[in-house]
Amino acid sequence: MSSRALGPAEIRDLAGLLDLQPTKKLGQNFVIDPNTVRRIVTAAGVAPGETVVEIGPGLGSLTIALLEAGASVVAVEIDDRLARQLPVTLRERLGEVELTVIGQDALTVTELPGDPAVLVANLPYNVSVPVLLHFLEHFPGLDRGLVMVQAEVGERVAAGPGSKVYGAPSVKAAWYGDFSTAGKVSRQVFWPVPNVDSILVRFDRHDPPGTEDERRMTFALVDAAFQQRRKMLRQSLAPVLGDSAAASARLEAAGLAPTARGEELTVADFLAIARS
């Protein structure tokens, strides 16, 4: 283990110093295993000189590994105590570092210094999908990323049509990029130990298939389709498109069967309905 990494003893000491009681509400499960953070940085393919945005740096486990890989880091942390402590910890362990800390809710961040091209994060469980979609929407310069999320959520985000776990997050993620899972992570690498395992999810951005107005309409259709996932689209889309006759007409105009269900449709199909 590198002497600069945070292991169980260092995490315990830092938590003690801050009198920190990790909260479930903020998804505060800190990585205590240096091999796991190195695995994340390697899977993300972080190169020296790159600017990386990290959401939820916590006590700094992953941030240290990113800085050791030669990245500049912009870290967004909602918890004031952690945001204030982070530069202190990092300076103590690494000396001068290329770090900017933004003490803010990631869901409200609309500007980032340094134009980061890479997102790397161990995301807080309860807001992982909204945070991911928020960053993809607001920061088109983010070309790729590697995030750790709850295993079920990661499998859903990376799923394709026809899969049992395909849902609104899968279609919305596919608007922005190609998503794939990159290996499970045991719950034992965290303190406190969560009730679920985690998974790594990788993405590479592609050009959006439509305009911003079309994206909004497409996402509204996706939400309606998966709110009533077992219903046929002519029924589930009726509230958004007027009534079931209007929904049937739009579906037919888009070349889709009104009896189809949301779980069979690709993002391009939803976009075709939005355009019809």
* Binding-site entries for S-adenosyl-L-methionine: 29, 31, 56, 77, 105, 122
Q: Which of 41, 71, 73, 76 binds ligand SAM (CB under 6 A)?
A: 76
User: Least distance to ligand SAM from the beta carbon of 71, Å?
Assistant: 14
124 binds ligand SAM (CB under 6 A): yes
Q: Which of 46, 55, 101, 273 binds ligand SAM (CB under 6 A)?
A: 55
- For residues 29 to 48, the per-residue mask of contacts with ligand SAM, x marking binding by CB under 6 A and - elsewhere, is xxx-----------------
Q: Which of 14, 44, 66, 106 binds ligand SAM (CB under 6 A)?
A: 106
105 binds ligand SAM (CB under 6 A): yes
Q: Which stretch binds ligand SAM (CB under 6 A): 91-99, 120-128, 165-173, 206-214?
A: 120-128
User: Least distance to ligand SAM from the beta carbon of 106, Å?
Assistant: 3
Sign of the CA dihedral running 249, 250, 255, 259: negative
Number of amino acids touching ligand SAM (CB under 6 A): 23
Q: Which of 14, 20, 27, 41 binds ligand SAM (CB under 6 A)?
A: 27
Return the bridge partners of 145, or none.
Answer: 119, 203
- For residues 247 to 266, the per-residue mask of contacts with ligand SAM, x marking binding by CB under 6 A and - elsewhere, is --------------------
Residues near ligand SAM, by CB under 6 A = 26-31, 55-58, 61-62, 76-79, 82, 105-107, 122, 124, 127
